[in-house]
Structures are given as structure tokens and as C-alpha cells.
Amino acid sequence: MDLGLTDKVAVITGGSIGIGLAIAHGLAAEGAHVVVAARNLERAKEAADEVAAKHGTRTLAVGADVATADGCAQLIAQVEQAFGGADILINNAGTGSNETILEAPDEKWQYYWDLHVMAAVRLGRGMAPAMIKRGGGVILHNASICATQPLWYEPIYNTTKSALLMFSKTLANELIPHNIRVNTVNLGLTLTPDWVKTATQLTEGTDKTWKDYIQGVADEWAPIKRFASPEEVADFFVFLCSKRATYSVGSTYYVDGGMMKSIV
């Protein structure tokens, strides 16, 4: 199946590891040129080189903290300089939180707001004009099932991902006249390096392995009884970027192994 992604330019934040890196590989496998953005430039370079070596497409590594206005501006400028703009933007950078509302300080709320919401605002606002000149494009937001089905231990994550969901919907309405399709993907349990790290820490000194912990979480929360691999969820992102998904606009898609409990 031809996905129509050959020679498209895709920017992926948080692209050096986990889901972002899997999306980079998925898009490059379809012939897209990939910009890997991450806070750590060396990690971004390693990931970009890995993608280029495997798929033979052009890559660019950008070291930028998209939780800051300067980091977003730096990423936008480097994409413009290298490619004249982008056709695809994947707002993937993010991380979980762990706090209570009564104890979390303003600074923590502000950091997650900047990372999960303002990064998407700034990058969408900054990259859309070039997309318009190029005839259209795709913007995808990696939110979370927690945007609509919150977990008790990360209220800041829940709140900021929910805000990202609403931003995505309103941006979709504004940009569709310019042939830019905006959608959100709400993922369930996905086996990222963060999950492995957390599971390893929680099982240290016990008679269980990190894999035992992961399986316990899957058994409790996911009807499918397992975590998704980054590659599995990346395939869905790649499809939404393609010409096979041209009627998909302003929607939220759950890729969660049945974890969502409601029908709306």
C-alpha cells in the first residue's frame, strides 16, 4: 500500500527514544525525511544516524528543549533552514508526573503546561505557515488515555494532556481550510524505556523482575493483557500521516488495548 509519504519532511519531538524513535523509523521506512528533536543533541544525533543508516532517507538532529519558547524557535528555524519547512509535525515530547494536587508546587504545574501544551501551541503556530506554502500537512499530538480517563497519582499529567486534546481539536478547525489535518492519539499502556526504568526501580530488592511488574500492570488495566510495543503504536501514527487518512480531521483516536472504560 502506497502511503504517499515519499520525500515528505517529518518533525518528531521526543524523537530520540521510545515512541518517538519508533515513529521516526516508521515514517522513514515509507520514504519520509525525518527531523529528530530531543533535549540531548548527542542522543538526537545517534537516533537520526540510526534512522538514516537503516532507511536511506535524509535526517536532521536538533537539540532543543521544546518546553521553552527558545527551544521551539530553535527547532522551527533549523527545519526551515534545512528543508524549507515541514509537511508533518508529531508533537510527541512528554513525560509522566507523580504528585498530589495539595502538595505540587506552581513550578511543577508550569513545567508540564509548557512541555505538553505550549510546545504544541508554539510549534503548531510556527510550522503551519510553511505547511500552508507547501500545500498542506499533518499535525499529530501524542496525548494519552489519561486525558479522558485519569490516573489518580498524576493529576498534572492528566490535566495538561486533557488541555492538549482541546487545543488539538480547536487547531484542527482553524487549519483544515489550509489542507492541514490535525488529530490526537490517546495511547494506553506502551512499553517505553520510562516504564522499564520505573518497573526496575520498583522491583529492586524483591523477588520479582521488572517484567513481572509490567505484566501485573497489564493484567490489571488492559483487557488485552499486555503492553503495546512502540512499533505497534508508531504504525498508527504513520497511517494518520498518510494520504490514506485524508478524511481524518479533528479526531481523537484511542490505541489502548481496550483500556478505555467508556464509549465516549
- Can you tell me the distance from the alpha carbon of 189 to that of 39, in angstroms, rounded to the nearest whole number? 24
How far is the C-alpha of 60 from the C-alpha of 127, rounded, in Å?
16
Q: Which is it for strands 137-142 and 33-38: parallel, antiparallel or unpaired?
A: unpaired
Contact call for residues 19 and 92 (beta carbons, < 8 A): yes
pLDDT tens-digit map of 23-53: 999 999 999 999 999 999 999 999 999 999 9
Query: Active site residue: 112, 157, 213, 253, which one?
Result: 157
Q: What tens digit of pLDDT does each residue of 204-243 get? A: 999 999 999 999 999 999 999 999 999 999 999 999 999 9
Q: Tell me, what's the pLDDT at 1?
A: 83
Give the 3-state secondary structure of 181-248.
EEEEEEECCECCHHHHHHHHHHHCCCCCCHHHHHHHHHHHHCCCCCCECHHHHHHHHHHHHCHHHCCC
Per the annotation, the verdict on 157 as an active-site residue is: yes
Taking Cα atoms as reference points, which of 212, 184, 210 lies closest to residue 198?
210
Q: How would residue 187 be classed by pLDDT, with cut points 50, 70 and 90?
A: very high
Instruction: Quote the pLDDT of residue 124.
Output: 98
DSSP assigned state of 115: I
> In the predicted model, what is the mean pLDDT of residues 72-101?
97
Q: Which domains does the chain have, with CATH numbers?
A: 9-190+230-255 (3.40.50.720), 191-227 (no CATH)
Q: What is the mean pLDDT of the segment spanning 142-152?
A: 97
pLDDT at 73: 98
